[in-house]
Amino acid sequence: MLAGQRVEVETPHPRAAAKGIVERLDGRTLESVEAVGKNLLLRFEGGLVLRSHLRMTGRWRVGKKGAARTGRPWLVLRGAEHEAVLWNGPVLELHRGGGRLRRLGPDILAQPPDLDAMLERLRHADQARHVGDAMLDQQLVSGIGNMWKAETLWDARLSPWRPLAEVTDEELRAVLQSAHRLMSGSVGGARPLRRIYRRAGRACPRCGTPIRSHPQGDDARIAYWCATCQAGGGDVAAPA
C-alpha cells in the first residue's frame, strides 16, 4: 500500500529509536515490500533494506494516516494517505544492499521447518564455532533470538559452549526441533515460561545448580546455561 511512496519514518519505541533508523530512512521512497518466510524486507531508495522479523509477538497494522493509537509502536511508516505501524517488533535491522539478506537461513517458524537445510548450513559453517553462537547467526537459521537460544539449549541439555564439531547431527536436529516446538507453542499464547533466560545465579529448575551467564559470540550477547545438566563435553571451553 505504501510501496512507491516517499515515507515519513518514526520510531516511537526507545529500543527502536536507538537503531538510527529514522536518521537514515526518513523521507526516502519505499521501493518494495517482500515477505521471505516470516521476514519482511522493506527496500528503500539508495539500496537500504530494513528487515523485520515478527517472531511471536510482532504485528504490522496498516491504516489511515494519523489514526489514534495508544502505546509506543516500534516503527511508523507514513505515506500520503496510509500508515503502516509495527508493534512489538523484536527484530528490526537496517542493511545496506540486499546481498546478505538473500542468504538468510531457513526460518525456524516455518511449518514444517526445513531441518535438513538448516543442518546443511550449520555443517558448512566454521565447526570451531560454539553451538550457542551459531544458533543466533541468521544466515544459518533465521528467527532464533537470544532468549529462545538459552531456553532451547537448556531444554535439549546441550551447553552453548560446545563447538559444532563436537555436536552430532542428531543433537543438532534435536536442538532445532526443540526451538521450533518451544517457539511455535508460544505463538499467540501467554508470556513464555522462562527456565533460565535472565536467571543467572538462580537454581536450575532441573538440577538446582546455579545458572551461569557470560557474553558469547561477536555481538557478546549473554548466554545462560547450567554447567551440570547441559555439560556434554564441550563445557571445558566455557569461561569460569
Q: Where are the alpha helices (DSSP H) in the chain?
A: 14-17, 21-25, 99-102, 115-124, 131-135, 146-155, 169-185
DSSP 8-state assignment for residue 143: S
Report in angstroms how near the CB of residue 122 gets to Zn ion at its nearest.
25
Task: Enumerate binding residues for Zn ion (CB under 5 A).
Answer: 204, 206-207, 209, 226, 228-229
Report in angstroms how near the CB of residue 240 gets to Zn ion at its nearest.
17
Measured CA distances, 49 to 22, 43, 99, 129 (Å): 13, 5, 10, 28
Q: Burial level of 223, CB count in 10 A (0-12/13-18/19+)?
A: buried
Closer by beta carbon to Zn ion, 110 or else 147: 147
Closer by beta carbon to Zn ion, 183 or else 204: 204
Closer by beta carbon to Zn ion, 67 or else 222: 222
Report in angstroms how near the CB of residue 194 gets to Zn ion at its nearest.
15
Q: Report the distance separating Cα 40 and Cα 68, nearest Å.
A: 25
Report in angstroms how near the CB of residue 227 gets to Zn ion at its nearest.
8
Report in angstroms how near the CB of residue 47 gets to Zn ion at its nearest.
47
Q: Which of 201, 85, 179, 73 is nearest to 135 (CA)?
A: 179
Report in angstroms how near the CB of residue 173 gets to Zn ion at its nearest.
22
Closer by beta carbon to Zn ion, 128 or else 207: 207
State whether residue 100 is helix, strand or coil: helix
State whether residue 52 is helix, strand or coil: strand
Closer by beta carbon to Zn ion, 50 or else 204: 204
Grid cell for residue 59: 504485528
Q: Report the distance separating Cα 207 and Cα 202, nearest Å.
A: 11
Beta-bridged to residue 186, according to DSSP, are none
Angle at which helices 146-155 and 169-185 pack, to 10 degrees?
A: 120
Report in angstroms how near the CB of residue 177 gets to Zn ion at its nearest.
21
Closer by beta carbon to Zn ion, 129 or else 206: 206
Closer by beta carbon to Zn ion, 88 or else 209: 209
